[in-house]
Structure 1
Amino acid sequence: MHPNTNQIEMSVIIPFYNEERGLEHLFTRVLGVLDRLNLSYEVICVDDGSQDQTLKNLINYHYLYPEIKIISLSRNFGKDVALTAGLENAQGQVIIPIDADLQDPPELIEKLLQKWREGYDVVYGKRRSRQGESLVKRFTANAFYKVISKISSVSIPQDTGDFRLLDKKVVDALKTMPERTRFMKGLFAWVGFKQTYIIYDRPSRFQGTSKWNYWQLWNFALDGITSFSLIPLKVWSYLGVSVSFLSFMYGSFLIIRTLVLGIDVPGYASLMVTTLFIGGLQLITLGILGEYLGRIYEETKQRPLYLIKERHGFHMDS
């Protein structure tokens, strides 16, 4: 199907980073599903600075299938920024982000559409199982979402990714959010609107391995927590009051003991333990303040969120 640019009903957004080997299978499944829906559509492929032949192969697919459009970023900006670039260029009445690794089956798009037609503005996929992931990764992911659901003022659904359907008015709302730290799962929840979900079993990657290592996942968790909660800052005020109270009580005890029993030689060990404990708390506090301050610094620079190197298939392009 070759859609009219001004009458696109569905936009599918796929971020790519070094996915050259899986393109044929990906497009076979995605285009097969979209053609069966009898809707005008576009597939926006965002190349996030791939180092292999992903971009070259995407361009070849664009010439074969004009509904495939390409945005090539000038370097690797990260998946959430690449997804943002796709959202800002999507023209459909409904927009569906999906991963290139096919862990989110494109065959579920029809179920997402059914929920949208029932009147929902956001329909997200909720994972019943996560095949192909280690026990450690599943445990840390569950722990992260439990923690952030407790400390955030926004309810962020557990066991969800970026795979979801968004009504155009939801995407228009997301476009008004200029922050540089893009924790998209939190932003999807923050905008509100009428939301529901479908449940599915997430299969293993079609091929290759995840681009995320544990250090990146740790930074991802920090971005999510600092973007949607002030609890890490507030907790140190309460902890400081508690430590001060305990110090006052201990000091009062020493004074009373001295008055009753006389002066004795103070303990070196207890003094060192107390000093190291207080020093450790101060360093942790400074570290948390630094995390928030660093994000404020990034926001004040007002750099573009991303830079586009080239585009293919958009009506304003030559």
Structure 2
Amino acid sequence: MKLSLVVPCYNEQKSLESFSKEIFSILDSISKDHSNTTLTFECIFVNDGSKDNTIELLLALKAMQSYSPNDKDLAVHNENIIESKQSITQDSNPYNLTMPPNNCEIKVIDFTRNFGKEAAMYAGLKESSGDCVVIMDADLQDPPLLLPQMFKKWLQNEADIIYARRINRAGEGFIRSRLSEGFYTLHNLISSVHLESGVRDFRLLDRQVVNALLSMSEYHRFSKAMFEWVGFRKIGLEYENIPRHQGSSGWSLWKLFKYSVEGFISFSTMPLRIAFILGFVMSLFSLGYGLYAIIGALCFGNVVRGWTSLVALIVFIGGMQLIILGIIGEYIARIYEQVKRRPIYIKRHGRKDS
């Protein structure tokens, strides 16, 4: 039996030392708790175009592994990865990383640039070969201590998806927190896919769930909703919010805004319907006002006055038309990008020891 771990990494140089210590300790404890089962692990680190020394740390971590399936040369699972059998002892470890367990294989995927977390998760899922796959961040805001609980519930066949949900946003900025809550509320109003507030990407997925996700070939991916859309049995584990241990978040407000728009567009046609309704209501209003002006002029001799109100009305209608065109344009742009069939990500080839 194999458990795969997918870890997207973007500028995680400061976090990887703590993360490797935590996660490998957890994997060791899982092995001991299930000693009656032949259990192996694979940790798939995806370097998403980091600008710091993240890739160097990942390659050093990979070189430290002692995993060798069937006592043969380590199999090559990626065309861009040249396997290295170099061994590094803890004394010569330049980054103070923790040695992986003997039953843990380390894989590194190196992107040519920053393609985004969605692409990194997709690449990791595509590379994984485990009976179940766990997605988690390297910043330790996803508590590794939940991993044994997730694995146990999966072994007991309680669910196909076991996800983590934070029950508060302690330590998070007020504006960021309110905007996040507003996003979930608005998304659930206009989308047929319900998203639970506080649910993270941190979750365990059964192999059949992974296969279902990989069959969805969207160029613009919104995994939070995709996890819900595919169905399957789900169980949530709650936890208190954990502040980031090292470094800073790569998610600016602008990136979060674009990600939110992605969620609205990917899983709802309601914006198009709202645009149609607005256009219909404005047409009725214009028709009614026109009839009122004509009847007033013909029957009562009233002359409609007020250039200011007329100009304001024209500007308002013009603004609404531009908004509606923008909404339509967002959908058309996604169709255009999808039909180009560009790859979701590009891996770096021939990197030494990667």
TM > 0.5 = yes
After TM superposition, where is structure 1 displaced by more than 4 Å over at least 4 residues in a row? Answer: none
Instruction: State the one-letter code of the partner of 1:75.
Output: R
1:112 to 146, 150, 156: 150
How far did residue 131 of structure 1 move? Answer: 2.9
1:199 to 234, 238, 242: 238
How far did residue 149 of structure 1 move? Answer: 1.1
Larger proportion of helix: 1
How far did residue 160 of structure 1 move? Answer: 0.9
Instruction: State the one-letter code of the partner of 2:147.
Output: I
Q: CA offsets per residue over residues 160-198 of structure 1, 9 Å max, x none?
A: 121001000000111111110011111111111111211
Q: Secondary structure at the match of 2:167?
A: strand
Distance in 1 of aligned mates of 2:24 and 2:185: 36
- Count of residues paired in the alignment: 308
CA RMSD of aligned residues (A): 1.8
TM-score with structure 2 setting the length: 0.84
Distance in 1 of aligned mates of 2:297 and 2:108: 78
Q: Secondary structure at the match of 1:129?
A: coil
Establish whether residue 48 from structure 1 lines up as the match of residue 48 from structure 2. yes
2:130 to 92, 99, 102: 92
Instruction: State the one-letter code of the partner of 1:16.
Output: C
Q: Is the 8 A contact 2:164 2:203 kept in 1?
A: yes
Distance in 2 of aligned mates of 1:71 and 1:264: 73
Q: CA offsets per residue over residues 272-300 of structure 1, 9 Å max, x none?
A: 11101110110001111111111111001
Distance in 2 of aligned mates of 1:214 and 1:272: 35
Q: Is the 8 A contact 2:209 2:232 kept in 1?
A: yes
Q: Is the 8 A contact 2:219 2:338 kept in 1?
A: yes
Q: Is the 8 A contact 2:293 2:304 kept in 1?
A: no
Establish whether residue 125 from structure 1 lines up as the match of residue 164 from structure 2. yes
1:150 to 189, 205, 213: 189
Q: Secondary structure at the match of 1:161?
A: strand
TM-score with structure 1 setting the length: 0.93
Residue in 2 that maps onto 1:36: 29
Q: CA offsets per residue over residues 85-141 of structure 1, 9 Å max, x none?
A: 000011111100001110011111011123222430001111111233101111111
How far did residue 48 of structure 1 move? Answer: 0.6
Unpaired segments of 5 or more residues in structure 1? 1-6
Distance in 2 of aligned mates of 1:131 and 1:90: 33
Q: Secondary structure at the match of 2:108?
A: strand
1:221 to 249, 260, 270: 260
2:278 to 212, 228, 239: 239
Q: CA offsets per residue over residues 21-68 of structure 1, 9 Å max, x none?
A: 121110000010011101311111000111111101111111112422
Distance in 2 of aligned mates of 1:285 and 1:253: 27
Q: Secondary structure at the match of 1:202?
A: coil
Distance in 2 of aligned mates of 1:262 and 1:182: 60
Q: Is the 8 A contact 2:296 2:303 kept in 1?
A: no
Distance in 1 of aligned mates of 2:288 and 2:180: 41
2:121 to 57, 75, 83: 83
Q: Secondary structure at the match of 1:112?
A: helix
